[in-house]
Amino acid sequence: MEKKEEKCFSLCSNRRQFLLASGVATATVVLSGIPGMGAKKAEAITTGYPRQKVASLSSLKTGKPVEFKYPDTKKYSGSFIVKLGTEAGGGVGPAKDVVAFNNFCQHMGGKMLDGGYKAADKAVGPCPYHQTTFDLTRHGIVISGHSTESISQILLEVEGNDVYAYGMMGLIYGRHSNL
Amino acid sequence: MTQYYLPKDKVPIPPPNAEVFTTACDYCIVACGYKVYRWPVGKDGGPSAMDNALLADFPLEPLGKSGVAWYGPNNHNVVMVNNKPHNIIVVADAETGAVNLNGDHSIRGGCIAKKPYNPNTPTRDRLQRPMIRIFDHLMPVTWDFATDIFAEMSNYVIDKYGANAWAHKQYSYQYWENTYALTKLALRHIGTASFSPHDQPGPGGDAIGLRDTGYAKFAPSYWDWAHADTLFISGTDPYETKTVLWNEWILPAINKRKMKVIMVMPRKTMGAAYAEANGGLFLQLIPGTDTVLQNAIARQIIEMDGIDKEWIKKWTNNKWETDSGFGQGTRNSPWQWRSTWGKFETSGYDNGKKSFKTWLFSQKEFELNAAAELTGVSAAKIKKAAEMMSQKKGKPTKVSIALEKGNYWSNNYGNTVSIASLAVITGTGGRPGRMIGRLGGHQRGGRGGGKYIRTKGPEKNEGRRKKPIDLDRWLVSGHVRFANVVGCTWVSGMAGAQGGIGDAFNRQTRKNAHQVHSFNKSEIISTLKKRVDSGGMVVANWDIYLRDPIGVKYADIVFPAATWGEVDFARANGERRCRLYSKFYDAPGDAKPDWEIAGLVAKKMGFPGFDWKDSNQVFEETARFSRKSRVAYDSIVWMAKKNGMKGHELLGKLGTTGIQAPVRIMDKAYANSKDPRINRPGRKFAGDQQEVLKGLEWRGGVLFATVRQHDTEMKMPDTGHPERTIFNKLELKYKSQTGKLNLLKSPWNQFSDFWEWWKPKGEELWVTNGRINEIWQSGFDDMFRRPYITQRFPENWLEIHPEDAKARGIESGDQLVITCDRVPIQKDYNQAVFSGDFMFSNLMKQGHIKLTKASITGVAIVTPIVRKGTTWTYFQNPHQPANALVPMVPDWVTNRYRFKLGVGKVKKIGESPYKRTYRAFSFARRDIV
């Protein structure tokens, strides 16, 4: 088990960078540094996501979400990327303000963008079904509502002007496995 | 404490042969139905319907349309069954016939799979062994050892100091089997008057004005909350605290039926914002002023001629009717015992000088502009609310009225009387869609195993009228020698948590010279005897976790309890719906259900009648004591027995739909009648027409559910079915001698002396408090043992208006200190001699009030959802107890605390780590619509 985790982490340097950048450095240090301590935490993270270009930085306008599909084109793959205009957890780009999320509410599957992106609050929602809202500056955590998880965040990295998706945090609504 | 949570991206699927159990959520009163799927680790099913127990193809459809609700990582756990690890998923039941239709759930219930013990999760500190404090460490011992000490010390205290020195504080809600056994021990056998439920300083009702008016507090069904024209909700936002009642009943009624919702609170959350944006109204009042607001609305309705005249004429008592007879007139009733004399009674609606109407129009505070000034709600909005509740000529406005703690925990009697009066004049409280009641807090799992004997209590009103005890004051005054605390947080849960009750516990336990320094049982007992003889106290605590401070700091004896999912239990939700909460895994270690622990100690204390073999035996014993109550389920047990089943077994067959009590056995012809006076609106959700009940009968009678109480238009049969059926007057009428309603006064001046003295002065702000959607179990589960929820709210916080924040240099994420140097503690034990002795101004004058200091910390959330001058904090973080800022001076009429009226000064002391990191908390506003 430990070996598998270590292997995962050596292969997943991008995710590791993401975790470090977004303030959970201790978790990754613990995982790779102290044998036997990290197995439970590491289960949260699955490998094998496609690396896919989802936007170019120059085309993103602050406060205007752009939709795309990830990690495949199957049901519930609808996602969006948005430049918030303020630094955010997991944000990329020069201002660390570009984030991406799956578009489906983890409560009962409502399409979050139908409730709208709320630029003043950097929030998405309310969900058209039962009004759940999520904070996009804080890894998609529930602001108010019923979802038992944050809205699934898509891990991003930047290469020049291109923004790539390379993984996800959390299970996509409706599925039993993201992949 | 976990402040980050990294979610998994897959969940296991139950195989076709997975076992399925039904249960309901353990948390809020709504009690959504859940299914538990259980299968051995390593035997997962597959995503095709052929390969799983869900009979559904993945990916699942939204809104439960696959016949099963989708489940995520927080719905999964691994538990131990017969010493073998099993997967469980706990999923809201999309096929239930009531409550959480479509498999809806709250964030709290949605995470309930994380409640069961699993040593790999933050549940690893579940109490598993009985413990005794020795050398100031709680050390594991045997059940025999611990219960010997408990029994001997209890008997010693009772024999030497009397039963009232043996105090008992317990949850009022954690299943009928447990509450019955506990009260059988404490009330029937020990007979102590030192008794209080988890959330109050003494026994008795909570919405007492409703009762005195004649209303039962849980009469409505959820169908009623969805079928009003105007729904007035005071003191809670059901979106936040009764989520699925909002999602599946109130919200669709707003969207589809254009039901208007008026919400009354000092703080605007999602439900209030949504109501306001959709034809309703939000009345953002100053804390504690509901009486003025409600009476001002009533007065406007009368001025608009919007009252329900025929209803008032038919259903209200005149003076003679109010006074008449025994039972619920003023004679020998709780009302009379409260010695309120003529302060609240009227002669009826508009008959003479002492009538309700004459009184209402004589009170200057209820005049429109004066009320606007006092409540902070504009005159225009008060008028608008009155218009929305007024009866229109030729077309009745169906008004329903709901209230909860924000209302009744500020000015208990005044607020609950005035809201009941508002109901009476608008024709509310006796017809479908036109009901009044509490929305509720905890589920209804209280069953009396003995009666509280008020006459044994030490407190009295003027005259010879005994009051139920204020147990906190009794303890602070040093009269308690043994405190038995079951499943609740005595100290942080009560008012004046620092200067009052906290200080007293510390003084009477830890600071006492007699501490146990021996493993020898007789030495332990002799030391504890010395402690109680020197004025100290022995504390026993039964719980599932070691709580701070009651268990961590004060308990001498700790009993580990088994809980939800570990034993079969039963109870009802907020519409009297009874269900079985099935056992689906084994309790950790040596933990036992509280009914069994009660049996162990009761037998050692020498009491008979505690020889239960299993939970069902206790349940069946409790049934006959339910017969006159709103949750009468005796018929279920009777029907089960007559058909060769056990009580729990039949209740279990009723599944997540359950059945609405009172449940009766009625003749088949009556029960199956299509007459709308019998087959009442909302019946299809009542649960008595389920397939599993077909063919189940006894002497021509079948189980018959009650959709709502006070159903004045319902037709009863001329004679009841003879078997075990008690017809309660409340099914057709009200709680008074005549069966009609008392229209009562609610004078502001019975409360205003306190309110004027206490309201914020100078730099002070109101520090009101409440529940939040994400957290239900403040200490057991959500707050500390759900990594996701802990990440959302890692510690206590204070919501403050932007202008108040700016004046203090506060930004979101700053670390705050909230202090008060004048928290009043009613310190002496009081026996009133003259009328008005218990009024706050008189207590002050006579030196019964001590002012104490209190101080808590919190993280700032600057948000416009609270009104200027009023801050809001979470009510029950044991480490930062908001109740410390709450006066330990109960309502003088009812002995209920004014929990929602905290006051304090707010100061920034620096920045919290959450201000500039992004994993935990969100400082976004909660009213985005």
Cα dihedral sign for B19, B21, B26, B28?
Answer: positive
Q: Which tokens in the block code for residue B891? A: 């309502």
Cα dihedral sign for B571, B573, B575, B579?
Answer: negative
Q: Which residues of B835-860 are buried (b: 16+ CB within 10 A; e: fewer)?
A: eebbbbebbbeeebbbebebbbbbbb
Neighbours of B86 (CB within 10 A): 21
Q: Is the pLDDT of residue B408 over 70?
A: yes
Q: Is the pLDDT of residue A43 over 50?
A: no
How many Å lie between the alpha carbon of B653 and the closest alpha carbon of chain A? Answer: 27
Q: Which residues, numbered 66 to 125 in chain A, qualify as contacts with chain B under a Cβ-Cβ cut-off of 8 Å?
A: 74-76, 87-90, 104, 106-110, 118, 121-123, 125
Q: Tens digits of per-residue pLDDT, B633-675?
A: 999 999 999 999 999 999 999 999 999 999 999 999 999 999 9
Compute the distance between CA of residue A117 and CA of residue B669 in angstroms, rounded to an integer.
57
Q: Which residues of A touch B926 (CB under 8 A)?
A: 133, 143-144
Confidence at residue B338, expressed as pLDDT on a 0 to 100 scale: 75
Confidence at residue B651, expressed as pLDDT on a 0 to 100 scale: 98
Compute the distance between CA of residue B158 and CA of residue B163 in angstroms, rounded to an integer.
5
Compute the distance between CA of residue B133 and CA of residue B557 in angstroms, rounded to an integer.
6
Give the three-state DSSP class for B818: strand
Confidence of residue B331 (pLDDT cuts 50, 70, 90): low
Mutation target to probe the B interface, by most B beta carbons within 10 A, among A176, A177, A178, A179 is A176
Confidence at residue B760, expressed as pLDDT on a 0 to 100 scale: 98
The answer to whether the beta carbons of residues A105 and A127 sit under 8 Å apart is yes
Mutation target to probe the B interface, by most B beta carbons within 10 A, among A70, A106, A107, A153 is A107
Confidence at residue B722, expressed as pLDDT on a 0 to 100 scale: 66
Residues 6+ positions from B236 with CB-CB distance below 8 Å: B242, B265, B402, B403, B404, B405, B406, B407, B439, B770
Confidence of residue A34 (pLDDT cuts 50, 70, 90): very low
Q: Which residues of A touch B104 (CB under 8 A)?
A: 108, 130, 146
Q: In chain A, which residue's Cα lies nearest the Cα of B245?
A: A130
**Between A137, A145, A175, which is nearest B773 by CB?**
A145
The answer to whether the beta carbons of residues B743 and B421 sit under 8 Å apart is yes
Q: Which residues of B touch A107 (CB under 8 A)?
A: 105, 107, 110
Compute the distance between CA of residue B194 and CA of residue B168 in angstroms, rounded to an integer.
6
Compute the distance between CA of residue A23 and CA of residue A159 in angstroms, rounded to an integer.
21
Answer whether A141 sits within 8 Å of B922, measured CB to CB: yes
Nearest of B542, B546, B539, B637 to residue B596 by alpha carbon: B542
Answer whether B247 sits within 8 Å of A126, measured CB to CB: no
The answer to whether the beta carbons of residues A177 and A37 sit under 8 Å apart is no
Q: Tens digits of per-residue pLDDT, B91-128?
A: 999 999 999 999 999 999 999 999 999 999 999 999 99
Compute the distance between CA of residue B879 and CA of residue A97 in angstroms, rounded to an integer.
35
**Between B107, B918, B919, which is nearest A147 by CB?**
B107
Confidence at residue A2, expressed as pLDDT on a 0 to 100 scale: 37
Compute the distance between CA of residue B899 and CA of residue B405 in angstroms, rounded to an integer.
9
How many Å lie between the alpha carbon of B586 and the closest alpha carbon of chain A? Answer: 23
Q: Tens digits of per-residue pLDDT, B366-385?
A: 999 999 999 999 999 999 99
Q: Which residues of B touch A109 (CB under 8 A)?
A: 61-63, 70
Answer whether A126 sits within 8 Å of B929, measured CB to CB: yes
Q: Three-state SS string across B622-687, please?
A: HHHHHCCCCCCCHHHHHHHHHCCCCHHHHHHHCCCCCEECCCEEEEHHHHCCCCCCCCCCCHHHCC
Q: Is the pLDDT of residue B13 over 90?
A: yes
Confidence at residue B124, expressed as pLDDT on a 0 to 100 scale: 95
Of the candidate CATH numbers 3.40.50.510, 3.50.30.30, 3.40.50.150, 2.40.40.20, the domain formed by B751-911 belongs to 2.40.40.20
Q: Is the pLDDT of residue A18 over 80?
A: no
Compute the distance between CA of residue B475 and CA of residue B194 in angstroms, rounded to an integer.
9
Compute the distance between CA of residue B414 and CA of residue B893 in angstroms, rounded to an integer.
9
Q: Which helix (H) or strand (E) holds B91?
A: strand B84-92
Q: Is the pLDDT of residue B497 over 90?
A: no
Q: In chain A, which residue's Cα lies nearest the Cα of B255?
A: A129
B926 residue type, one letter: R
Mean pLDDT of B577-606: 98
Size of interface A-B (CB pairs under 8 A): 177
How many Å lie between the alpha carbon of B72 and the closest alpha carbon of chain A? Answer: 7
Residues 6+ positions from A80 with CB-CB distance below 8 Å: A65, A66, A67, A68, A100, A101, A103, A113, A117
Q: Tens digits of per-residue pLDDT, B412-427?
A: 999 999 999 999 999 9
C-alpha distances (whole Å) from B764 to each of B339, B417, B496, B614, B822 are 35, 30, 17, 54, 11
Confidence at residue B328, expressed as pLDDT on a 0 to 100 scale: 57
Q: Which residues of A touch B75 (CB under 8 A)?
A: 148
The answer to whether the beta carbons of residues B486 and B167 sit under 8 Å apart is no
Q: Tens digits of per-residue pLDDT, B34-80?
A: 999 999 999 999 999 999 999 999 999 999 999 999 999 999 999 99
**Between A40, A45, A149, which is nearest B120 by CB?**
A40
Answer whether A121 sits within 8 Å of B103, measured CB to CB: no
* Top CATH class, B208-438: alpha beta
How many Å lie between the alpha carbon of B845 and the closest alpha carbon of chain A? Answer: 46
Confidence at residue B499, expressed as pLDDT on a 0 to 100 scale: 79
Neighbours of B256 (CB within 10 A): 9
Mean pLDDT of A5-14: 37
Mean pLDDT of B877-905: 93
How would DSSP label each residue in B202-230? SSS-SSHHHHHHT--TT---HHHHTS-SE
Mutation target to probe the A interface, by most A beta carbons within 10 A, among B34, B70, B861 is B70
Architecture of domain A52-169: 3-layer Sandwich (2.102)
Q: Three-state SS string across A144-177, please?
A: ECCCCCCCCEEEEEEECCEEEEEEEECCCCCCCE
Confidence at residue A42, expressed as pLDDT on a 0 to 100 scale: 36
Confidence at residue B342, expressed as pLDDT on a 0 to 100 scale: 77
Question: Residue ranges of the domains in chain B?
Answer: 19-114, 208-438, 751-911
**Between B63, B107, B919, which is nearest A146 by CB?**
B107
Confidence of residue A10 (pLDDT cuts 50, 70, 90): very low
Compute the distance between CA of residue B719 and CA of residue A77 in angstroms, rounded to an integer.
62
Compute the distance between CA of residue A153 and CA of residue A15 in angstroms, rounded to an integer.
12
Q: Is the pLDDT of residue B735 over 50?
A: yes
Q: Can you give the pTM of this predicted structure?
A: 0.94
Confidence at residue B792, expressed as pLDDT on a 0 to 100 scale: 95
Answer whether B63 sits within 8 Å of A150, measured CB to CB: no
* Top CATH class, B19-114: mainly beta
Nearest of B545, B404, B445, B410 to residue B115 by alpha carbon: B545
Answer whether A143 sits within 8 Å of B928, measured CB to CB: yes
Confidence at residue B468, expressed as pLDDT on a 0 to 100 scale: 86
Q: Tens digits of per-residue pLDDT, A151-173?
A: 999 999 999 999 999 999 999 99
The answer to whether the beta carbons of residues B264 and B231 sit under 8 Å apart is no
Q: Tens digits of per-residue pLDDT, B226-281?
A: 999 999 999 999 999 999 999 999 999 999 999 999 999 999 999 999 999 999 99
Give the three-state DSSP class for B146: helix
Residue in the block written with tokens 């049969």: B717
Q: Which residues of B708-740 are buried (b: 16+ CB within 10 A; e: fewer)?
A: bbbbbebeeeeebbebbbeebbbbbbbbbbbbb
Residues 6+ positions from A119 with CB-CB distance below 8 Å: A62, A63, A85
Q: For B411, what's the count of Cα atoms within 13 Å in the CB-facing half-sphere?
A: 29
Compute the distance between CA of residue B881 and CA of residue B411 in angstroms, rounded to an integer.
21
Q: What is the mean pLDDT of chain B?
A: 95
Between strands B701-704 and B664-667, the pairing is: antiparallel
Nearest of B630, B623, B594, B590 to residue B185 by alpha carbon: B594
Q: Is the pLDDT of residue A68 over 90?
A: yes
Q: Is the pLDDT of residue A29 over 60?
A: no
Residues 6+ positions from B368 with CB-CB distance below 8 Å: B296, B299, B300, B379, B382, B383
Answer whether B928 sits within 8 Å of A121, measured CB to CB: yes
Compute the distance between CA of residue B283 and CA of residue B281 in angstroms, rounded to an integer.
6
Q: Which residues of B touch A137 (CB under 8 A)?
A: 918, 922
Rounded to the nearest 10 degrees, the angle between the axes of helix B290-303 and helix B412-425 is: 20
Answer whether A46 sits within 8 Å of B64, measured CB to CB: no
Determine if the peptide bond prior to A35 is cis (ω within 30°).
Answer: no
Q: Is the pLDDT of residue B854 over 70?
A: yes
Q: Tens digits of per-residue pLDDT, B425-484?
A: 999 999 999 999 999 999 999 999 999 988 898 988 887 788 889 999 999 999 999 999
Q: Which tokens in the block code for residue B653? A: 């067959």
Question: Residue ranges of the domains in chain A?
Answer: 2-42, 52-169
Cα dihedral sign for B103, B106, B109, B114?
Answer: positive
| Least trusted range by pLDDT, from B429-443, B490-504, B603-617 | B490-504
Compute the distance between CA of residue B70 and CA of residue B59 in angstroms, rounded to an integer.
9
Mean pLDDT of A83-102: 97
Compute the distance between CA of residue B191 and CA of residue B189 in angstroms, rounded to an integer.
5
Q: Is A9 on the interface with B (CB under 8 A)?
A: no
Q: Is the pLDDT of residue B889 over 60?
A: yes
Confidence at residue B51, expressed as pLDDT on a 0 to 100 scale: 97
Compute the distance between CA of residue B12 and CA of residue A142 in angstroms, rounded to an integer.
24
